[in-house]
Amino acid sequence: MALHDNRGNPVSATRQQSIDGYDAALHLLHGYYGDPLGAIDAVLAEDPEFVMGHCFRAALMLISSEAAAVPALVQSVEAAERLAGRANDRERGHIAAARAWIEGDFERAVWLYGSVLADHPRDGLALQVAHLGDFFLGQSRMLRDRVASVLPRWHTGVPGYGFVLGMHAFGLEEMGEYARAEETGRAALALNPRDPWATHAVAHVMEMQGRHPEGIRWLEDSSQDWSPDNGFAFHNWWHLALQYLDLGDHPRVLNLYDEGVRPHASNVVLELIDASALLWRLHLRGASLGDRWRPLADTWAGRVDETYYAFNDVHAMMAFVADGRQAEAQRLLSNLERRANEGGTNAMMTSEVGIALSRALLAFGREDYTTCAQLLLPVRFIAHRFGGSHAQRDLIHLTLTEAATRAGMAPLAQALAEERVEIKPTSPHNWTLLQRARMVAINRRGAEEAQLHSVRAQHTAVSALRALTPAAA
């Protein structure tokens, strides 16, 4: 008799205990709770021939998006491949998808996980990995539509339904459907208040709409649900910090950085990304950051030769530039230029987005703001190709606006600031940027008028002098 997991998916295992352990580990993964890796390792220790256990372990390594996890990813895929003869079609689909990721074809890997979903729409692991893969690839539409395609097959009687609603909420938010996103996120939390991804989806809505006091209350009032023993808490603390940052409360932002975003010297790349992104935003505002860049840059320095995923690399470059690490910055840039010619999805991300952004950051660091702005202008329209959310990629527009303002590029600076105010008129920082851009324009006009007045005065003086000078015989 064939066995199934608790969502009705066929499993080739012969031990129900293994499947139960897998279901428990998948629940942890969906909610970023506890230690899903430890949970599945315990299952595999008892049942080393459990194919979906190896597929699950491979998925954990894959979604970490860091090179340090690749050896374990390869190990898990190879273990699953050795058991492929006894695996079913669904499991072989998982194996093929993870193998494609190892080979550097991230796009094909996500497509293959999506193919598994087409046949098994309640495959929670395939959905989780494909959803995060769409995020890594910057595929906003698929963040919404991939979940929408399987949602009719889920309902409150299926374990994990709330997590699926949370994923859909985030996809809706990334497509600008803010009202539906918030409604769906709140519905997910009504089923499970401890769903950090659904909390995060609603936080994104409030960030994009500039609902700062409400966004602060949303995250602070629910922090006991999403923060304790949760591997995603650092990112929700980051979202809370963004709300305070837009209000100009730098002391509170730094407190959240120290206690929530980076409370200890973590080497987890997703945490390093948020740390760099938050400090860089403060750096653009001229905030006093003490010695916070140094330990962060030290940690990034250990990854300078990885160039595994361009989104990570650009955040490493922020730390190197801000901390004055010229050697590491130049080494990273050289690695990116080499990586761009090696093939694979990350090569595309690096060549089209990563290199230009890194060069722009280097230009900003040496106060060549004109070059920085010129490099960022074209890349901001294609930056989604290297992944992340709209809120994360806003850092590019912020840096561009600041560079244009400092460079005295008055029309550009004012246009960029006007754009920000139009999109989010409730943002105090956007109005500050617009005021500064207008001052640049006023000062520029004043300088031009003064120069014109000087030229006219010189012309008048020369004419008067000529009138007093006898004509040559």
Domain containing residue 57: CATH number:
1.25.40
* Whether residue 1 is found in the same domain as residue 65: yes
Distance CA 371, CA 355 (A): 14
Q: Has residue 151 been placed in a domain?
A: no
Q: Of the residues 70, 105, 138, which one is the last residue of a structural domain? A: 138
Q: Has residue 241 been placed in a domain?
A: no
* Whether residue 58 is found in the same domain as residue 111: yes
Phi, psi of 33 (to 5 degrees): -90, 155
Which residues in 256-274 are b (16+ Cβ under 10 Å) and which e?
bbeebbbeeeeeebbbbbb
Is the distance from CB of 396 to CB of 376 less than 8 angstroms?
yes
pLDDT > 70 fraction of the chain, expressed in percent and rounded: 93
Q: Answer whether 0.75 is exceeded by the pTM.
A: yes
| Cα–Cα nearest to 134, from 175, 163, 95, 93 | 175
| Three-state secondary structure call for residue 4 | strand
What is the tens place of the pLDDT at every residue in 58-106? 999 999 999 999 999 999 999 999 999 999 999 999 999 999 999 999 9
Higher pLDDT, 466 or 20: 20
- What total number of domains does the chain contain? 3
pLDDT of 285 > 60? The answer is: yes
* Whether residue 79 is found in the same domain as residue 118: yes
| 286 φ/ψ sector (left φ>0, alpha ψ -120 to 50, else beta) | left
Q: Has residue 347 been placed in a domain?
A: yes
Q: Please tell me the predicted confidence (pLDDT) of residue 472.
A: 41
Q: Of the residues 394, 423, 439, which one is the last residue of a structural domain? A: 394
What is the tens place of the pLDDT at every residue in 398-441? 999 999 999 999 999 999 999 999 999 999 999 999 999 999 98
The count of other CB atoms within 10 Å of the CB of residue 9 is 22
Q: Has residue 375 been placed in a domain?
A: yes
Q: Please tell me the predicted confidence (pLDDT) of residue 457.
A: 46
Any idea what DSSP says for residue 3?
E
pLDDT band of residue 343 (cuts 50, 70, 90) is confident
Average pLDDT over residues 138-159: 97
pLDDT of 235 > 60? The answer is: yes
Residue 11 parent element (H or E): strand 10-11
Q: In this structure, what token pair is assigned to residue 425?
A: 């008129």
Distance CA 104, CA 287 (A): 39
| Three-state secondary structure call for residue 33 | strand
Q: Has residue 104 been placed in a domain?
A: yes
* Whether residue 319 is found in the same domain as residue 416: no
* Whether residue 302 is found in the same domain as residue 417: no
Distance CA 149, CA 106 (A): 21
pLDDT of 447 > 90? The answer is: no
Distance CA 425, CA 421 (A): 5
Q: Please tell me the predicted confidence (pLDDT) of residue 443.
A: 81
Q: Please tell me the predicted confidence (pLDDT) of residue 376.
A: 98
* Whether residue 91 is found in the same domain as residue 132: yes
**Rounded to a whole number, what is the largest CA-CA distance in the chain?**
121
Distance CA 60, CA 78 (A): 15
pLDDT band of residue 455 (cuts 50, 70, 90) is very low
* Whether residue 1 is found in the same domain as residue 133: yes
Q: Has residue 159 been placed in a domain?
A: no
Average pLDDT over residues 178-195: 98
Q: Has residue 63 been placed in a domain?
A: yes
Q: Has residue 19 been placed in a domain?
A: yes
Q: In this structure, what token pair is assigned to residue 183?
A: 């409604």
Phi, psi of 241 (to 5 degrees): -60, -35
Phi, psi of 3 (to 5 degrees): -100, 160
* Whether residue 11 is found in the same domain as residue 113: yes
* Whether residue 389 is found in the same domain as residue 414: no
pLDDT of 469 > 80? The answer is: no
* Whether residue 429 is found in the same domain as residue 385: no
What is the tens place of the pLDDT at every residue in 100-138? 999 999 999 999 999 999 999 999 999 999 999 999 999
Average pLDDT over residues 42-50: 97
105 lies in which domain range? 1-138
Q: Please tell me the predicted confidence (pLDDT) of residue 440.
A: 92
* Whether residue 388 is found in the same domain as residue 453: no
Q: Of the residues 370, 394, 418, which one is the last residue of a structural domain? A: 394
* Whether residue 302 is found in the same domain as residue 430: no
